[in-house]
Amino acid sequence: MFPNSFEYIAPTTLGEAVELLQRYGYDAKLLAGGQSLLPMMKLRVAAPPILIDINGIDELKGWREENSFLRIGALTRHSELEHAAELRDRYPLLAETAVWIADPLVRNLGTVCGSLAHADPASDWGAAMLALHAQVEAVGPGGKRQIPIDDFFVDTFTPALEENEIATAVLVPTPTGRAAGRYLKIERKAGDFAIAGLAIHVELDSDGIVTVAGFGICACGPVPLRGKRAEEYLLGKKLTPETIEAVSRLVPEDSDPTDDLRGSAEYKRDVLRVFAKRGLSDIAKELQGEVVLR
Ligand SMILES: Cc1cc2nc3c(=O)[nH]c(=O)nc-3n(C[C@H](O)[C@H](O)[C@H](O)COP(=O)(O)OP(=O)(O)OC[C@H]3O[C@@H](n4cnc5c(N)ncnc54)[C@H](O)[C@@H]3O)c2cc1C
């Protein structure tokens, strides 16, 4: 199906884009990778009269480390993080997650910030950014603000962005200790959205004590969810068979899945339990210097 007709505007500066959003309000939609918006427009689920294409805004491109964060610009594509060898050691969860999103065609166009702004409960980046304790940087007519990822997913397909704001970057804290991450996802077929997904990020100090723990769950609730109970339990402990077992039982407690064609709520909770145990066991081995086969 063809989308409704629309006016297309392609600003080249952030200021111009914000001004356009301010002028057109709810009539305008930002176009980033187009991998969620365009299918919705073709299905006529969305019919914005004005599209503001942000792909020509250079200041939204690329990533850099600054002020103890990795700043991932809004136009960073999924595939860029999949292939960024220089980020593998310190931010392993990024490549771990990116490779699970859709297929190479979607990954070459879709953006991390577009995925977060779309606020799909099954967003793989939603789970990963929760595990990484990230923040979303947003710019609007009033200036810049940072939104903790826990406050970002207001409801299904509803991010905490005003209609005149642009998500300009996602900020991932730079690890202070040894870091490891895993993304585990079960899908009906390769390239599909998750039936259930779990992102895990762990940092250890030199004594092997967990100083940062992050668990992000997707497709098991109205928004991506934090595995808060598991995080609180694991902080200050070592990764042992006992603590890993305990965490695997706590992660599903923070999920809120429903029965659907992809599986029952009980099944999805059990998948999360298995994922937590498998992912953390691999992380424990990796941080002890063992080579873990994928
Ligand atoms: C076949 C297919 C399979 C897919 N499979 C998966 C999958 O397995 N896992 C997964 O997580 N995702 C999947 N996706 C979704 C994909 O990840 C999208 O790329 C992503 O959700 C949206 O990013 P985008 O840059 O394409 O955003 P767009 O489609 O351009 O925009 C999406 C929404 O976000 C808004 N927006 C975009 N950028 C910004 C910004 N910087 N600031 C404010 N608002 C903004 C737009 O206005 C729009 O409302 C799939 C998509 C397709 C087509």
Q: What is the DSSP string of 57-88?
A: -GGGS-EEEETTEEEEETT-BHHHHHH-GGGT
Alpha-carbon distance of 134 to 99, in angstroms, equals 19
The pLDDT mean for the chain works out to 97
Tokens, residue 210: 């967990």
221: left (phi over 0), alpha (psi -120 to 50) or beta: left
Tokens, residue 113: 């910030």
> Across-strand partners of 200?
182, 215
Q: Check: CB of residue 263 under 8 Å from CB of residue 210.
A: no
Alpha-carbon distance of 267 to 279, in angstroms, equals 18
Specify the ligand 1 atom closest to the Cα of 60: 41
Tokens 């002020």 locate to 67
Alpha-carbon distance of 202 to 280, in angstroms, equals 9
Calculate ∠ Cα 187-216-30, nearest 5°. 80
Pocket test of ligand 1: the residue of 18, 101, 156, 163 to mutate, having most ligand atoms within 8 Å of its CB, is 101
Give me the residues of the chain with pLDDT under 50, please: none
Alpha-carbon distance of 50 to 43, in angstroms, equals 17
pLDDT of residue 1: 79
Specify the ligand 1 atom closest to the Cα of 185: 8
Pocket of ligand 1 contains residue 102 by CB under 6 Å: yes
Specify the ligand 1 atom closest to the Cα of 125: 11
Tokens 């895990």 locate to 200
Alpha-carbon distance of 287 to 181, in angstroms, equals 10
Q: Check: CB of residue 126 under 8 Å from CB of residue 223.
A: yes
Pocket of ligand 1 contains residue 107 by CB under 6 Å: no
Containing 187, the helix (H) or strand (E) segment is strand 178-187
Pocket of ligand 1 contains residue 197 by CB under 6 Å: no
CA of 118 to the centre of ligand 1 (A): 6
pLDDT of residue 292: 80
pLDDT of residue 291: 76
CA of 119 to the centre of ligand 1 (A): 9
**Which residue puts its alpha carbon closest to atom 44 of ligand 1?**
117
- Nearest in space to 223 (alpha carbons), one of 109, 107, 126, 94: 126
Alpha-carbon distance of 24 to 279, in angstroms, equals 46
pLDDT of residue 283: 98
Residue 94 phi, psi dihedral angles, 5° rounding: -65, -55
pLDDT of residue 293: 72
Give how far Cα 113 sits from Cα of 32, 135, 168, 275, Å.
9, 11, 8, 26
